[in-house]
């Protein structure tokens, strides 16, 4: 063991570069005492070597010169063997994309992942639209709750593509009275959630839903849901009329049909 430690401590920069990826722990411990060990080589240790231990990472984190590069901070936080206290101290320095990686890294401790989600949620308003769109596609559950309150339809369209998004999230968007019409339009056009009866009903009931979208969705509602729409106080009159026509058409199919009801509404 002492031989391996001394080999790491006295190795040249070139030898370190060749050995660090697969070196045993004793060699790595010696390398940390080697004055030729540079941050780029420390990054190699963190990313490539499977012998890295928690105590070794603690030693790395205590060296300001090694810790200064952003890539080293990120590698430490993302390493599953990093002691929680070290990772929690560094996660605040990560950029949004790496915070998203931490939040999605199932091998990391849940408190660390939740901390990454909190930082993401706080910094969300600082992100450019393109960054919000990219985040919306990959966001974890803890961030989706914040993203679904965004007023940009492009962000919401990206969020609707996120496989982690649940029907309860789509309902929250549809039911919110402050949701802008373009966002409701995006939800009404979504292939996955616009087919859900609960989402359809919520969109039809929301007075901010664009009329064309509401009139299209109302045709898919159940008889009970149509009656609710017809008597709802905040539903636009045009949508109420459409609901009443559909009830009549389904009750008396020999009379007015849904097709003629739509024709009458348009004339």
Q: How far is CA 209 from the centre of its chain?
A: 25
Residues 81/74, Cβ–Cβ less than 8 Å:
no
Residue 65, token pair as written in the block: 């010169």
Could you tell me the pLDDT band of residue 1, with boundaries at 50, 70 and 90?
low
Instruction: Examine the pLDDT at 162 and tell me if it is beyond 60.
Output: yes
Q: Is the pLDDT of residue 266 over 80?
A: no
List the Cα angle 184/186/192 in 5-degree steps.
110
- pLDDT at site 197: 96
In the predicted model, what is the mean pLDDT of residues 175-192? 95
Alpha carbon of 69 to those of 43, 64, 86: distances in Å? 9, 9, 16
Positive or negative torsion for Cα 210, 196, 201, 162? negative
pTM listed for this prediction? 0.85
pLDDT score recorded for residue 177: 82
The two tokens of residue 160 are: 């609707």
Give the pLDDT mean for 141-152.
96
Specify whether the CB–CB gap between 187 and 181 falls below 8 A. Answer: no
Q: Which residue, 61, 64, 53, 54, is CA-closest to 23? A: 53
- Between CA 145 and CA 135, with CA 114 as vertex, the angle to 5 degrees is 50
Tokens of 71: 């890539």
Q: Give pLDDT, residue 265.
A: 41
In the chain, the percentage of residues whose pLDDT exceeds 90 is 90
Q: How many Cβ atoms are within 10 Å of 89's Cβ, its own excluded?
A: 14
């Amino acid at each position: 063991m002492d031989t391996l430690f001394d080999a790491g401590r006295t190795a040249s920069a070139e030898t370190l570069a060749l050995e660090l990826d697969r070196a045993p722990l004793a060699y790595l411990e010696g390398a940390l005492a080697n004055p030729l060990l540079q941050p780029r080589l420390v990054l190699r240790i963190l990313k490539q070597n499977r012998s890295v231990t928690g105590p070794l990472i603690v030693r790395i984190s205590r060296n300001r010169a090694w810790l200064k590069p952003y890539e080293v901070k990120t590698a430490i936080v993302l390493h599953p063997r990093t002691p929680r206290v070290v990772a929690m101290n560094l996660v605040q320095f990560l950029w949004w994309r790496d915070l998203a990686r931490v939040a999605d890294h199932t091998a990391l401790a849940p408190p660390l992942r939740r901390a990454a989600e909190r930082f993401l949620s706080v910094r969300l308003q600082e992100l450019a639209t393109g960054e919000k769109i990219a985040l919306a596609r990959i966001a974890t559950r803890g961030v989706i709750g914040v993203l679904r309150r965004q007023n940009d339809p492009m962000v919401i369209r990206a969020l609707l593509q996120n496989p982690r998004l649940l029907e309860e999230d789509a309902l929250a968007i549809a039911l919110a009275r402050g949701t802008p019409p373009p966002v409701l339009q995006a939800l009404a056009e979504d292939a996955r959630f616009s087919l859900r009866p609960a989402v359809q009903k919520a969109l039809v009931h929301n007075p901010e839903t664009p009329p064309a979208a509401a009139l299209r969705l109302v045709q898919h509602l159940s008889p009970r849901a149509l009656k609710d729409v017809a008597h709802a106080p905040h539903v636009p009159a045009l949508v109420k009329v459409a609901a009443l026509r559909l009830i009549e058409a389904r009750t008396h199919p020999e009379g007015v049909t849904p097709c003629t009801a739509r024709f009458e509404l348009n004339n």
